[in-house]
Amino acid sequence: MEIIIDTREQLSYISFFQKLRIKHELKGLKVGDYSILGYEEEFALERKTLNDFINCITFDRERFSKELEKARKLKYFAIIIETSYYDIKNHNYRSKTNPKSVLNTIFAWSVKYNYPIFFVESREGGALAVIKLSEFYYKNVKQ
């Protein structure tokens, strides 16, 4: 298995992949920030920092909603947010957006689009989520 990192991904997990000796390559993806070589048309993961996610649900909501609609064509898509529930609840971000609005959007989009949304709390946790989700998808699809 080889993880694909989108060429537009600004804060990639490449250093974690190198450290853990995970095969990876940079390649343009139509949807998401991460995929698996050979499965780009059916599997993708979107990585967001908390501030980036809040920007996507406020100022950039229309564009991000279109991305989520494009992802409906995939067999598996998930959003990984480098934060915790408590960071949102306690308003530990720059935006003035109400924490209840942020959480409501997360839960609503999870239901509307049927996408899991993972809170990973750190970059290391995000890298682990990408690795493990990719491994489990790859193993289950190959059976």
pLDDT, one tens digit per residue, over 119-137 is: 999 999 999 999 999 999 9
CATH number of domain containing 22: 3.40.50.10130
CB contact at 8 A, 10 and 110 = no
pLDDT digits (tens, 9 = 90+) for 4-54: 999 999 999 999 999 999 999 999 999 999 999 999 999 999 999 999 999
Its pTM stands at 0.95
Distance CA(86)–CA(129), nearest Å, equals 19
Asked if 33 and 129 count as a contact pair (C-beta separation under 8 A), the reply is: no
User: H helices within 3-122, ranges in order?
Assistant: 14-19, 50-57, 61-71, 85-89, 99-113
The boundaries of the domain holding residue 70 are 3-142
Domain count, the chain: 1
Measuring CA to CA, which residue among 80, 86, 81 is closest to residue 133? 80
